[in-house]
Amino acid sequence: MNAASNRQPVLSAQGLQRSFGAVVAAADVCIDIQQGERLCLIGSNGAGKTTFVNMITGYLKPSAGRILLAGEDITQRSPREITLKGVARSFQIPQLYLHMSVLDNVLAAWHANQGSRHFLRPAHDAESVARSMDLLERFGLQTMAMQTVRELPGGVRKLLDIAMALTGQPKLLLLDEPTSGVSADEKYATMDTVVQAIERSQEQVSVVFVEHDMDIVRRYASRVAAFYSGRVIADGQAEQVITDPEVQRHVTGLAPASRTSHALSAHREATA
């Protein structure tokens, strides 16, 4: 048994089940996430990815199974309790205060994660400002600190949303399609910035991100879990999962190589 197998997972989802009427959204989902891992969830719309993320964050309770965070059962905890225990989330559409400055957004996030009820009027004490500016610098946003968020382009808003998620110093960070709304020319630069900022965190942060762009998956995921009809149909290294015949059939829409070659041969014969 190697050292990795002896480590307690940051998060362990054990036999999660959830249905909506006749629709099975989660069927015996079992996933362990290790410290420092970057796990990507792939699957078509309705495959079960969002249901899984919502169960982890407490917005949806599983009908069976349990969720352990660093060994503690959080299955029935509220979203707020789970956040305070070290699970942070960034959304596909950034959740920002558009009328406030970039700096004030980060200050508000710091104070909210400390339990303050007055986080929408964040204090500008020297320590809080310095800490916020340091975080903005990690994301390359320090020169925009005094700009109003509504003035920012979509890609910058995405980075700010992820930066705010890190103010809670999470054990586990969940990113919902971090490159959606980002131009093709900027997607790699955006992900490079995110990964480098996370790696500069004081503690090793585990990341789970949902992504449809297979180029991004290949480049940034240390591991991939593919969902189909509420089940995990493949779980392993990126290339191994992406080239799995079941994943190609049900997730990426690519026919396995053997089927493609047969189809091309048949076409050549028919048109010869």
pLDDT grade for 116, boundaries at 50, 70 and 90: low
pLDDT grade for 258, boundaries at 50, 70 and 90: very low
CA 177, 179, 183 angle in degrees (round to 5)?
145
pLDDT grade for 255, boundaries at 50, 70 and 90: low
217 closest CA partner among 49, 41, 48, 51 = 41
Tokens standing for 218?
């290949």
Q: E strands within the chain? A: 11-20, 23-33, 38-42, 64-69, 72-73, 87-90, 172-176, 206-210, 223-228, 231-236
pLDDT of residue 64: 96
Q: Which residues pair with 87 in a beta bridge?
A: 172
CA 165, 166, 170 angle in degrees (round to 5)?
100
pLDDT grade for 14, boundaries at 50, 70 and 90: very high
pLDDT of residue 115: 61
The least confident of 135-139, 228-232, 238-242, 262-266 is: 262-266
Asked whether the beta carbons of 141 and 160 are under 8 A apart, the reply is yes
* pLDDT higher than 90, residue 52: yes
Tokens standing for 170?
């999470």
pLDDT of residue 117: 56
Asked whether the beta carbons of 39 and 207 are under 8 A apart, the reply is yes
pLDDT grade for 267, boundaries at 50, 70 and 90: very low
pLDDT of residue 256: 55
pLDDT of residue 268: 42
CATH for 1-79+172-177+205-272, options being 3.30.360.10, 3.40.50.720, 3.30.950.10, 3.40.50.300? 3.40.50.300
* pLDDT higher than 50, residue 32: yes
